Structure 1
Amino acid sequence: MIEEEQPRSDTDLVIVTGVSGGGRSTVARALENVGYYVVDNLPQALMLDMAELAHRAGGTARQTAMVLDVRSRAFSTDLGGAVQALKERGYSPRVVFVDADDEVLIRRFENVRRSHPLQGDGRLADGIAAERELLREAREAADVLIDTSHLNVNQLRSRVEELFGGEDARRLRVTVLSFGFKYGLPPDADFVLDARFLPNPYWVPELRDHTGQEPEVSRYVLGQRGAVTFVETYARLINATAPGFEREGKRYLAVAVGCTGGKHRSVAIAEELARRLRELRVVANAHHRDLGRE
């Protein structure tokens, strides 16, 4: 009896790329932690061949991650074309782009005392700028954009494991990210919610040194007029649009909730919004970008 071949769409392919110093290696290790077979520094020209090998091998290879490095001589700027070739063959690859602010990248390279791979005889900033231009289209076409500017290694690993581990990978996953407006908008946000209409617990002496993760601050924030309605409205909106995002192939949604410093209001609202989304059977987790910066 001949065993029927599984459809190529059942092979879970993740393509990881991004700027040098952004954290690709950490993303690769995190994917290994959740069961992916990871191929590092794969020439782009071999992506389709690697996908076919993974499909035929089956087993653990059915979850394969391919990490592309701009330093590879076989790297091409036409990542979109390579991804389209995979789709035409029947695969459903997901592209992860790892990014960080220029200032953060410069600091990381200086800390390890090495030059940028595209720096040549120029400045470090020149190498970063050249790489950004090379990867511009890949960044725009990515399914998941992870900005690591304010993430440590453990936070980045946790983010990847939540996105790619456990539940059905084809379901929409929502990251509710709290942040402080004074530290800038999260560049990977799909929606930005502003919690600054609520009274700031910073001006309540007994709450100032606590955070929105603590019950006394959460009760204060959610007890303010309009707070619960705010959370419920956005929970219903996200829940109502989730099936449409899934039909269109979008698997990751980043909802950023901001307040002034990212310590009290946004944290409490993000935790509550993620909780209510989970009650609605939406896969959701809360992360706090700027907690601890003050």
Structure 2
Amino acid sequence: MQTEQEKQQIIFVTGPSGAGRTTAVRALEDIGFEVIDNLPISLMDRLIEGQPLERPLALGLDVRNRDFSVNAVINKIDMLAEDERFDLQVLYMDCDESTLIRRFSETRRRHPLSVEGAPIEGIARERDLLQPIRACAGILIDTTAMTPHEARAEVQGWFRPEEGKSLAITIESFSYKRGLPRGLDIVLDCRFLRNPHWEPALRAKDGRDSAVAQYVAEDERFDAFFLGVVDMARLLLPAYQEEGKSHLAIAFGCTGGQHRSVALTEMLAKALAEDGWQVSKRHRELERRPESDRVLRGQEA
């Protein structure tokens, strides 16, 4: 069995137009990655099965590619994730819809999926098209509030080897009713904690809300569970890093993926970030909501 150090590192870089995909691939090129942008998917097998590269490989995937297919990309992700020769990560550069509209308006660029020229229709179509790939991404960088310089620094912070941050950590919440997310290393079931769903004042909120988080934390079993999880993470993360593991995915699951798992994801992400780890957090079920609903709930939290 190959060690992490012996594997060919491959990063798929994608996301909606205007969110920073080009900035990301250029940032990776500047820190030593072999970068190929807009490689036709039909040629990907030939590249991957060829002679091993001396440098890690970053592939930019864009819907403008003439043979782009979401199913084909997901099939490649599944194939490479199961192949012990490769260490695959999916980097998704994201941005909220209103900021994408503003960016296209300022640059006066035509959106690649906009037939009539107005960007809003193309933006919505592209975001919907890419949603299955977004769900597969191990690292999600939201550039909504970032300048290009800040986005570049964020990407390099995840992947620059000399900075010692070779272990990328993703913490995710999910609903067991919808099944487990892809590519998890550690799954923690928090359905034993009391459920804010049964409190009328909390039902419409989610685990990012301080009242919901406090309700979950007041369960008499919470402290022992959460402190145990933090202690486990602090034990395992340096060991995984020493072994050369490049990405670790931890997930909390609950019944609906709205309250308990979200609160615990937020808490663990905060604790590990305070320890100095590079952490990305995801809330799978919250991401399925309409964007306007997500924004409103995030403001309430």
Q: Same fold (TM over 0.5)?
A: yes
Q: Is 1:158 equivalent to 2:159 in the alignment?
A: no
- Kept after mapping to 1: 8 A contact 2:160/2:166: no
Q: Kindly state the Cα deviation for residue 85 of structure 1 after the two structures are TM-superposed.
A: 2.6
Q: Secondary structure at the match of 1:138?
A: helix
Query: What pairs up with 1:185-224 in 2 under 5 angstroms?
Result: none
Query: What pairs up with 1:224-263 in 2 under 5 angstroms?
Result: 236=231, 238-239=233-234, 242=237, 251=247
1:147 corresponds, among 142, 149, 162, to 142
Which residue of the partner structure matches residue 260 of structure 2? none
Q: Is 1:109 equivalent to 2:104 in the alignment?
A: yes
CA distance in 2, matches of 1:153, 1:234: 36
Q: Secondary structure at the match of 1:12?
A: strand
1:73 corresponds, among 66, 82, 102, to 66
Q: Kindly state the Cα deviation for residue 132 of structure 1 after the two structures are TM-superposed.
A: 1.4
Q: Kindly state the Cα deviation for residue 73 of structure 1 after the two structures are TM-superposed.
A: 1.2
Q: Secondary structure at the match of 2:161?
A: coil
1:134 corresponds, among 121, 129, 132, to 129
* Percent of aligned positions that are identical: 33
CA distance in 1, matches of 2:106, 2:167: 37
**Structure index of larger Rg:** 1
- Kept after mapping to 2: 8 A contact 1:97/1:142: yes
Distance 1:7 1:94, change over 3 A: closer
- Kept after mapping to 1: 8 A contact 2:169/2:248: yes
CA distance in 2, matches of 1:235, 1:8: 27
- Kept after mapping to 2: 8 A contact 1:45/1:74: yes
Task: Give the residue type in structure 2 aligned to 1:80.
Answer: I
Q: Kindly state the Cα deviation for residue 233 of structure 1 after the two structures are TM-superposed.
A: 8.5
Number of aligned pairs? 217
Q: Is 1:99 equivalent to 2:98 in the alignment?
A: no
Q: Is 1:38 equivalent to 2:35 in the alignment?
A: yes
Q: Kindly state the Cα deviation for residue 172 of structure 1 after the two structures are TM-superposed.
A: 3.3
Which residue of the partner structure matches residue 45 of structure 2? 48
Q: Is 1:124 equivalent to 2:119 in the alignment?
A: yes
CA distance in 2, matches of 1:285, 1:86: 23
Which digits, 9 at most, give the CA deviation of each residue in 1:144-203, with x for residues without a partner?
Answer: 111110111121111111111116999533599xxxxxxxxxxxxxxx77789xxxxxxx
CA distance in 2, matches of 1:34, 1:98: 18
Q: Kindly state the Cα deviation for residue 42 of structure 1 after the two structures are TM-superposed.
A: 1.1
Distance 1:145 1:245, change over 3 A: farther
Q: Secondary structure at the match of 1:94?
A: strand
Q: Kindly state the Cα deviation for residue 101 of structure 1 after the two structures are TM-superposed.
A: 0.3
**What RMSD over aligned residues (CA atoms) do the two structures have, in Å?**
4.5
- Kept after mapping to 2: 8 A contact 1:48/1:86: no
Q: Is 1:24 equivalent to 2:21 in the alignment?
A: yes
- Kept after mapping to 1: 8 A contact 2:10/2:89: yes
Q: Secondary structure at the match of 1:135?
A: helix
Which residue of the partner structure matches residue 82 of structure 1? 76
Task: Give the residue type in structure 2 aligned to 1:161.
Answer: Q
- Kept after mapping to 1: 8 A contact 2:110/2:117: no
Task: Give the residue type in structure 1 aligned to 2:18.
Answer: G
- Kept after mapping to 2: 8 A contact 1:175/1:253: yes
Unaligned runs of 5+ in 1: 177-191, 197-231, 255-268, 287-294
